[in-house]
Amino acid sequence: MQAETVHVDKLSEHVGEEVVLKGWLYNSRSSGKVQFLIFRDGTGLCQAVLEKTDDKVNLFNEVKHLGQESSLCVQGIVRQDERSVGGYELAVTDVQIVHKTEGYPITLKHHGPDFLMKHRHLHLRSQRQWAIARVRHTVVEAIRKYLNENDYILVDTPIFSPAAGEDKQSLFNVDYFGEEVALAQTGQLHVEAGCLSLGKVYCFGPTFRAEKSKTRRHLTEFWMVEPEVAYLDMEGLVELAEEFTCAIVEHTLKHRRAELELLGRDLSDLKKVQRPFYQLRYSEVIDLLHSQKIKDHLEAKLEVRRKQLAELEKNIEEWTAQQESVKKQWQKEKLAQQILEARDEAGDLREQIENIPYHMELAAAFEWGKDLGGSDETIISELHDKPVCVTHYPKEVKAFYMRLDRDDPRVVENLDVLASQGYGEIIGGSMREEDFDILLNRIKEFGLDPAAYEWYLDLRRYGSVPHGGFGLGVERTVAWITGIKHIRETIAYPRMMGKLYP
Partner RNA sequence: UCCCCGAUAGCUCAAUUGGUAGAGCGAGCGGCUGUUAACCGCUAGGUUCGAGGUUCGAGCCCUCGUCGGGGAGCCA
Which residues in the 62-91 window bind RNA by CB under 7 A?
65, 67-68, 81, 83-85, 89, 91
The 3-state DSSP class for residue 340 equals helix
Q: Which stretch binds RNA (CB under 7 A): 6-14, 255-263, 325-333, 458-466?
A: 325-333
- Residues 125-164 touching RNA, rule: CB under 7 A, are none
Beta carbon nearer to RNA, 181 or 491: 491
- DSSP-derived secondary structure letter, 264: T
Residue 89: burial class (beta carbons within 10 Å; 0-12, 13-18, 19+): buried
Strands 34-40 and 45-51: antiparallel
Distance separating alpha carbons of residues 67 and 123, to the nearest angstrom: 16
Residue 259 Cα distances to 80, 109, 142, 210, 482, angstroms: 21, 20, 16, 33, 9
Nearest partner of 218 among 491, 414, 437, judged by Cα? 491
Evaluate whether 399 touches 166 at the Cβ level (below 8 Å): yes
- Residues 9-48 touching RNA, rule: CB under 7 A, are 27, 29-34, 36, 38, 47
- Residues 395-414 touching RNA, rule: CB under 7 A, are 397
Smallest distance from RNA to CB 66, Å: 9
Among the listed residues 110, 254, 307, 444, the single contact to RNA using CB under 7 A: 110
Nearest partner of 94 among 116, 124, 74, 70, judged by Cα? 74
* 271 near RNA (CB under 7 A): no
* Stretch (H or E) spanning 69: none
Smallest distance from RNA to CB 179, Å: 25
Residue 82 Cα distances to 85, 86, 87, 88, angstroms: 8, 8, 5, 7
* 382 near RNA (CB under 7 A): no
Beta carbon nearer to RNA, 83 or 406: 83
Beta carbon nearer to RNA, 38 or 458: 38
Among the listed residues 415, 471, 481, 482, the single contact to RNA using CB under 7 A: 471
Beta carbon nearer to RNA, 51 or 454: 51
Among the listed residues 162, 374, 394, 483, the single contact to RNA using CB under 7 A: 374
- Residues 479-498 touching RNA, rule: CB under 7 A, are 486-487, 496, 498
Q: Which long-range contacts (CB under 8 A, 24 or more apart) does 307-310 make?
A: 308/349, 309/346, 309/349, 309/350, 309/353
The 3-state DSSP class for residue 428 equals strand
Beta carbon nearer to RNA, 2 or 107: 107
Smallest distance from RNA to CB 28, Å: 7
Among the listed residues 219, 249, 298, 439, the single contact to RNA using CB under 7 A: 219
- Residues 172-201 touching RNA, rule: CB under 7 A, are none
Smallest distance from RNA to CB 296, Å: 21
* 428 near RNA (CB under 7 A): yes
Among the listed residues 175, 292, 328, 451, the single contact to RNA using CB under 7 A: 328
Evaluate whether 393 touches 412 at the Cβ level (below 8 Å): yes
- 374-382 vs 292-325: helix crossing angle, rounded to 10: 90
Smallest distance from RNA to CB 426, Å: 5
Among the listed residues 40, 123, 209, 442, the single contact to RNA using CB under 7 A: 209
Instruction: Could you list the beta-strand ranges (E) of 231-305.
Output: 278-281
Among the listed residues 158, 373, 409, 502, the single contact to RNA using CB under 7 A: 373
Q: Render the burial of 146-180: b for 16+ CB within 10 Å, e for the rest.
A: bbeeeebeebebeeebebbbbeeebbeeeeeeeee
- DSSP-derived secondary structure letter, 436: H
Among the listed residues 237, 427, 439, 484, the single contact to RNA using CB under 7 A: 427
Residues 6+ apart with CB under 8 A from 396: 369
* 168 near RNA (CB under 7 A): no
Among the listed residues 222, 277, 400, 401, the single contact to RNA using CB under 7 A: 222
* 212 near RNA (CB under 7 A): yes
* 283 near RNA (CB under 7 A): no
Beta carbon nearer to RNA, 466 or 494: 494
